[in-house]
Chain A
Amino acid sequence: MVLVINGAYDDSGHADPGHPERPDRVTAAMAGVADLHLGSDLIAVAPYAATRPELARVHDDGYLDELGAFCHEGGGAIDQDTYATSESWAIARHAAGGGLAVIEELQRRDDGVGFIAARPPGHHALADRAMGFCLLNNIAIATAALLSQGERVLIVDWDVHHGNGTQAIFWNQPDVLYVSTHQWPLFPGSGSASEIGGRRAIGGTVNIPLPAGATGDVVRRALDEIAAPIIDEFSPTWVLVSAGFDAHRADPMADLQLTGGDYAAMSQAVSEYAPRPGRLAMFLEGGYDLAALRSSVSAALSSALGLSATIEGTSSGGPGTDNVERVKHERASALETARSIHGEGSTR
C-alpha cells in the first residue's frame, strides 16, 4: 500500500494571529501521517502552483483577478471569517496544485491513496467568492480536472460544516455526485436534505444534516442506508474526500461527537466506493484541535491503507438516529417534486 502526499510547501505566510486556520494544522496532519511509519510506502509529491486555466475551470476570472490583486496589495480581512496575506495567493495556488499533482501521481502509479495536507482549505469557496476560511476550492479544482478527462467523480464531504462551495459549483454537473455529512444548523446554513441538485443533475447532491451531539453510529448508518445505494448506482471512477476533522468531539468549532475510530470507519466506507487502487484522494479541510487532527488523520489514512493501527474506539449513543429516517423522507419528497417539474429524464 502506498500513501501519496503532496510534498512540503511553506504555508507559514498564510497566517493571522489568533486565527484557528493556521499553519500548525498542516504540521499536525503531517505528524499524523508520520505516526503510520510508512517508510518507503510514503511517496511525497511536490506541489506546484495551479495554473490559471486549471483554476478557471472552477473560479470566475474576475474573482481570481481580485484575489490575486488583493494579496499583492498586502491582503487583509475578506469577510468576518476569512483572511488573506501577501503570500496567500501563492500558497492557495499551491494547495490547489497539490491536489492536482497527487492525482497525476495516482494515475501514473495506478495504486495507492492520496492525501493532500494543504491549506487554506477549500470547500466553502464559491466560484466567485471566498468564505469560511477558504480562498480556492481545492477539491473542486481537482474534480474539474478529472471531469475534463471524462471521469465520474464522487465527492464525500465529512467536514462538520456543509461544503456549500463544492455543492454550488457542481449543482448542475451530472458527472459529479456530492455527498455531505455535517452538523446542522451550523455555518454556512446550507445543506438541508431537500437540496438535491440542479435541473441537469437532480439527485446528484446528497445532504445528510446531523444534530449537535450526534455520534459516529448515526453517521455510519446514514452513509450505509442513504448514501451507499446512490453511490452504487452512480458508479464513480474516482472518489475524492473533503476530509475535515472538525466533527471530532474535541474540536472547538462544532458539537458533533466523533472519534478517531469513527474517522477510520468512514474512511473504510469511502475506500470501498473507489473502483480500484489509485482512485481515492483525501483533501484536508477543517480540523482545529491539533491533537484530534493528528490522531484522526492517522486513523483515517490507516484505515484507507488497510493497516492495523491503535486508534480510539468508535462512538455511539448520541442523538440523531431518527434523523436518518427524516433525511430519507425529505430527500424523497424533494426528488418527487423535482421529477414532477422537470420529468424523469433529468433524474439520475
Chain B
Amino acid sequence: MTSVTTIAVGFDGSEDSEIALHWAMRLAGDTGAEVVVVHATGMLERLDTPFAPGEMPPVLATIAQEHGIDSARLHWIVDNGDACSVLLRAVEPPINADLLVVGSRGHGKRAGLLLGSTSLELTQHATRPVVVVPSNVSRH
C-alpha cells in the first residue's frame, strides 16, 4: 500500500469541513502524516475576510490536539481561487499532498447538487486519491 505522508484537507469553516478535518486528523494520527489544512479564498471573501494566512483558526489546533497531532505536523495554507482549483494545486510543490480530503459539501451548497460540487470536480481532475467524508461520519 502506498504510504501517506502529507494529507491536504479543505476547510471553509463549515460543519462538513470540520468533519472532514476530524477524519484527516485521525488518519494522520494513525499514519504519522503531516496535515495541511487548505482554505480557498474566493472573490467575495475579499469583502469579508474571516480567514487569513498566518492566522490559523483556533478550531484547527483544538481538533489536532484531540487526535494527538502536534503543532509541527499541522500547517495552515490560504490560497486564492475556488476550492477545487486550490485543492488541485495542493498536490503540486511545495505542498506535494498525496491525499486530498474534503467534506461532502461546503457552505451554501444543497445536498445532492452536482453543479459546483468540489468533491465531484476533485474526483474528476485530481491526480492523487481523494476522500469525500460524508456528513454523518463520527468526528471521533
* A residues apposed to B, CB below 8 Å: 19-20, 63, 66-67, 70, 76-82, 129-133, 161, 164, 185-190, 252-254
22 contacts between A and B (CB under 8 A): A63-B115, A66-B114, A66-B115, A67-B115, A76-B110, A77-B107, A77-B116, A78-B115, A78-B116, A79-B83, A80-B44, A80-B83, A81-B44, A129-B116, A130-B116, A133-B43, A188-B80, A189-B80, A189-B81, A189-B85, A252-B46, A253-B46
Q: Which of B46, B47, B80, B116 meets A79, CB within 8 Å? A: B116
A63 neighbours in B (Cβ, 8 Å): 115
Query: How far, in angstroms, from A63 to B115 measured CA to CA in the complex?
Result: 8
Q: Which of A80, A129, A161 is the one whose CB lies under 8 Å from B12?
A: A80
Check A80 against B108 for contact (C-beta < 8 Å).
yes
Chain B residues with Cβ under 8 A from A189's Cβ?
79-81, 85-86, 89
Give chain A nearest CB distance to B104 CB in angstroms: 15
Cα–Cα distance between A344 and B43 once the two chains are bound (Å): 39
Number of B interface residues at 8 Å Cβ cutoff, please give it: 29
Residues of chain B at the chain A interface (Cβ within 8 Å): 12, 40-47, 79-86, 89, 106-110, 113-116, 118, 121
Closest 6 CB pairs of A and B: A77-B108, A189-B81, A78-B116, A189-B80, A80-B42, A81-B42
| A-side interface mostly | loop
* A292→B101 CA distance, assembly (Å): 42
Instruction: Give the complex CA separation of A132 and B42 in angstroms.
Output: 7
Q: Which of the listed residues A81, A190, A254 has the most CB atoms from chain B within 10 Å of its own CB?
A: A81
A190 touches B85 (CB 8 A): yes
Cβ-defined partner of A80 (8 Å) among B40, B79, B114, B121 = B40
Q: Which of B42, B47, B79, B108 contacts A20 (CB 8 A)?
A: B47
B46 engages A80 (CB within 8 Å): no
Beta-carbon contact of B81 and A188 below 8 Å: yes
Nearest CB in chain A: distance from B9 CB, A: 17
Per the bound structure, the CA–CA distance linking A133 and B121 in Å amounts to 18
Could you tell me the distance in whole angstroms from the C-beta of A50 to the nearest C-beta in chain B? Answer: 19
Check if B85 sits within 8 Å of A253, measured CB to CB. no
CB distance from A76 to the nearest CB of B (A): 6
Give the docked Cα–Cα distance between A112 and B106 (Å): 47
Docked Cα-Cα span, A189 to B86, in Å, equals: 8
Q: A77 contacts B121, CB within 8 Å?
A: no
A316 to B105, CA, bound (A): 45
The closest CB in chain B to the CB of A21 belongs to B43
Q: Which listed residue (A67, A70, A81, A190) contacts B43, Cβ 8 A?
A: A81
**Is the pair B42, A79 in contact by a Cβ cutoff of 8 Å?**
yes
Most buried by A among B40, B43, B44, B116: B43
When distances are taken between beta carbons in the complex, the residues of chain A under 8 Å from B121 are 129
Residues of B contacting A129 in the complex (Cβ-Cβ under 8 angstroms): 84, 116, 121
Residues from chain A with a CB closer than 8 A to the CB of B41 are: 187
- Give A130 to B116 CA distance when docked, in angstroms: 7
Q: Check if A187 sits within 8 Å of B86, measured CB to CB.
A: no
CB atoms of A81 and B82 under 8 A apart:
yes
Nearest opposing residue in chain A for B109, CB measure = A77
Q: Which residue of B lies closest to A253 (CB)?
A: B46
Complex: how many Å from CA A214 to CA B108?
Answer: 34
Shortest Cβ distance from residue B110 to the other chain A in the assembled complex, whole angstroms: 6
Most chain A CB neighbours (cut-off 10 Å) among B44, B82, B107, B108: B82
Contact B45 A80 (CB under 8 A): yes
**B124 and chain A: residue at smallest CB distance:** A128
Measured in the bound complex, the distance between the Cα atoms of B47 and A317 in whole Å is 26
